[in-house]
């Protein structure tokens, strides 16, 4: 696991956006896994800037959203589909038809989850998966206790996640969705590369457990320790509980020097 520590949240978001932009330049037909939520907003804003100023194109990209609330219609402003359209599809050249989102409005959400997993597989699998981190260590909506080998499925949300969602979706109040369709931990681990962004001190405990704790279903994000190409990008606040922080900073400095020498 590569741990990148930046000083400010904006620098961390810029680093993530730069990695995505580089991936699109090297592979314009990249299969890109997308995450939603406030943490990702500055990442997508910087990718839009790269599209407008540097010509980074999404025209040939195939994109898969990580998850969607059960009960959300595509037209709902708070749905993850609307989020992705608003922040990435509409301001870039990513074709609407190339964005795949599990249908939260499906009559049979279990069949929808199976269909979505099959669609990912038929697309050749995900090349680069963007990820956020829940305060309780969840990835996507794989809550603590999730099977480490799970595939896309319907998942009930914990009370901690529901509280966080009420803060993020105040217009819904207590009507926030109780469940979601989410890529499973096994699905995420099958991506060729994983790229996680975490900012703010509220994520510091989860970050420390993910990076330095044991691999356990109680901290679903810890499964990234088993991924051969996982990069975790943090701001200083999110990294504050890492015991190995000086080492990670020195290792990253050396990594960048080696990469520069190889160009």
In degrees and rounded to multiples of 5, residue 119 shows phi and psi of -65, -40
Coil, strand, or helix at residue 233?
strand
Is 143 known to be catalytic? yes
Parse the chain into domains and list their residue ranges: 2-262
Question: CB-based burial of residue 27 (10 Å sphere; 0-12 exposed, 13-18 middle, 19+ buried)?
Answer: middle
Is 67 known to be catalytic? yes
What span, in angstroms and rounded, lies between the C-alpha atoms of 195 and 22?
13
Give the number of C-alpha atoms closer than 13 A to the C-alpha of residue 171, restricted to the C-beta side. 4
What would the pLDDT profile of 126-145 be if each residue is shown by its tens digit? 999 999 999 999 999 999 99
What would the pLDDT profile of 176-221 be if each residue is shown by its tens digit? 899 999 999 999 999 999 999 999 999 999 999 999 999 999 999 9
Catalytic residue among 6, 65, 67, 87: 67
Q: Give the predicted TM-score (pTM) of the model.
A: 0.96
Q: What is the sign of the dihedral through the CA atoms of 249, 251, 193 and 55?
A: positive
Residue 261 pLDDT: 85
Catalytic residue among 51, 87, 138, 227: 138
Is 111 known to be catalytic? no
Class of domain 2-262: alpha beta
What span, in angstroms and rounded, lies between the C-alpha atoms of 115 and 105?
14
Q: What is the mean pLDDT of the chain?
A: 96
Catalytic residue among 136, 142, 227, 235: 136
Catalytic residue among 6, 68, 127, 143: 143
Tell me which DSSP letter residue 142 carries.
B
Is 136 known to be catalytic? yes
């Amino acid at each position: 696991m590569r741990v990148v520590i930046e000083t400010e949240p904006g620098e961390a978001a810029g680093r993530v956006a730069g990695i995505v932009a580089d991936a699109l330049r090297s592979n314009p037909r990249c299969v890109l896994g997308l995450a939603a939520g406030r943490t990702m907003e500055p990442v997508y804003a910087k990718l839009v800037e790269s599209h407008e100023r540097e010509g980074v194109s999404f025209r040939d990209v195939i994109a898969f959203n990580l998850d969607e609330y059960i009960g959300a219609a595509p037209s709902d402003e708070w749905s993850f589909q609307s989020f992705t359209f608003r922040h990435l599809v509409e301001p870039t050249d990513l074709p609407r038809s190339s964005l795949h989102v599990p249908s939260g409005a499906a009559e049979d959400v279990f069949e929808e989850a199976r269909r979505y997993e099959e669609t990912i597989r038929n697309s050749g699998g995900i090349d680069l998966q963007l990820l956020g981190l829940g305060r309780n260590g969840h990835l996507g909506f794989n809550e603590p206790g999730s099977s480490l080998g799970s595939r896309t499925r319907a998942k009930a949300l914990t009370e901690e996640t529901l509280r966080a969602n009420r803060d993020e979706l105040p217009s819904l109040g207590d009507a926030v969705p109780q469940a979601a369709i989410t890529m499973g931990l096994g699905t995420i681990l099958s991506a060729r590369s994983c790229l996680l962004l975490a900012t703010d001190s509220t994520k510091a405990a989860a970050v420390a457990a993910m990076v330095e704790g044991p691999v356990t279903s109680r901290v679903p994000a810890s499964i990234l320790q088993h991924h051969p190409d996982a990069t975790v990008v943090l701001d200083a606040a999110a990294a504050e509980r890492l015991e190995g922080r000086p080492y990670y900073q020195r290792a990253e400095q050396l990594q960048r020097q080696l990469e520069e020498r190889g160009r």
